[in-house]
Each structure stands twice: as structure tokens, then as C-alpha cells.
Amino acid sequence: MKIIVIPVTPFEQNCSLVICEETKTAAVVDPGGDIKHILNVIKKHDVNVDKIILTHGHLDHVGGTQALVRALNNVPIIGPEKEDKFWLDQLEAQSQSFGFPMTISFLPNEWLEENDIVEVGNIKLKVIHIPGHTPGHVALLDEQSHQIIVGDILFNGGIGRFDFPRGNQQQLITGIKEKLLTLPPETVVFPGHGPTTTIGKEKASNPFLGGQSMWDL
């Protein structure tokens, strides 16, 4: 699996183009905006995008979804987990509060659940549900190539915000420790913002995931 990271929107959200090199089939994960730029990258890599996958319902991750669906001949929208419906339901309000172009609410063609498999060509992405940043946030793991797309769950040296409506610090930290830090240390992590990292590096040095959290001090 090859992942091309495409930073989009004023929030520098990492949209990802996931490519199966054997079949030249691809998926776009989290098209937050800047659709022309995303389409140019798709064209440059000469791949056939057959789906859009969403990690969670925040505007900077989903804002370009409907325009991209139209540009790609109505490809299906897959994910996030259904608990994020309340975020997708208020995309208009999110657009206003973040000063984004007006984005109309939409629903995916398919919600995702823990342990679902999303196929991209010959790649099988395993769905890992980790609430806390948003209640329906999912990560997408390729066990074969040891790569994982984590959206706003985990960052290089940080973790996602948990102060939004229905955010939950304990769920987020427990989910990261139980479902991500248990992956092989060489697993490459693609966060929704900022540089890539590895599970091993975050396990060793992420200040939010140590035995003693900063809030215990």
C-alpha cells in the first residue's frame, strides 16, 4: 500500500490517497477541501479512485466530500462509524463557525464498525473504532504493510482534542493504548495533521501516553 499525503484546507488537514499498486485502484481518505488539488494528485498518479473513506465527521476532514463524489462519478462514501452522524448533521453550522465554504450535510453510503474490512484493490484496510476525539472516529490499518491512518486520534507527539461535544479523554487515551500502542512498533502512523510517525516512537516518547499523564501532576 502506498499512501500519498495531500495537505488541504487552512487547517492543513492530511487528506490521503491510498493506492493499491498492483491494481492501480485507490481511495481518498478525508477530503477536507481543495478538491482541484486532490484531483490533480489523482491524475498525476494515474489511479482509479473507487471510494471515499471518512475517519470522522469534522469539517476539515469531510468538507470536500460531496464535490469529490461528483467529480469522481458518484463513488461511494464509506464511514465514519455511525456515532459521528451528529457531526455530519451539523456541517452547515461547522462551516459558519470555521469560516469554511458552506458545506451541506450528507450521509455516507455505508457506516463503518470495528473490525470491518474496507477493500482498496488488493489492500484490506481493517477498521479500528476509537472514540474520544469524536464518538464515531475510526482508524484504518493495513496489517500487511504495517501502515495506519489515524485521523485526529493520535499525532506525532500529541493526541486529539477531547473537549468537543461528546469528546472523552479517558476513552481516547484507553483506545490509543489498547488498540494502537499494541501494534508492531514499526507500524507507520499517518495522522490527520502534521508529520508521520511510528507506533514505537509514540509509545516511547508521546507525553500524553506515559504511565503518568500531565493531569496527574
Chain positions contacting Zn ion, by CB under 5 A: 58, 152
Check residue 196 and report its DSSP letter.
Answer: -
Shortest distance, position 151 Cβ to Zn ion, whole Å: 7
In the complex with Zn ion, the residue whose CB is nearer, 142 or 152, is 152
Please give the Cα distance from 144 to 124 (Å, whole number).
Answer: 8
In the complex with Zn ion, the residue whose CB is nearer, 42 or 152, is 152
In the complex with Zn ion, the residue whose CB is nearer, 25 or 206, is 206
Shortest distance, position 187 Cβ to Zn ion, whole Å: 21
Exposed, middle or buried by CB within 10 Å (0-12, 13-18, 19+), for 73?
exposed
Shortest distance, position 152 Cβ to Zn ion, whole Å: 4
Shortest distance, position 124 Cβ to Zn ion, whole Å: 25
Task: Please state whether beta strands 197-198 and 13-20 pair in parallel, antiparallel, or not at all (unpaired).
Answer: unpaired
Q: Which three cell numbers stand for residue 100?
A: 469554511
Residue 193 Cα to chain centre, angstroms: 10
In the complex with Zn ion, the residue whose CB is nearer, 58 or 129, is 58
Q: Which three cell numbers stand for residue 141?
A: 490499518
> Would you say the C-alpha torsion 53, 156, 132, 99 has a positive or negative sign?
negative
Shortest distance, position 190 Cβ to Zn ion, whole Å: 14
Cβ–Cβ < 8 Å for 60, 31 = no
DSSP reduced 3-state for 101:
coil
In the complex with Zn ion, the residue whose CB is nearer, 157 or 200, is 157
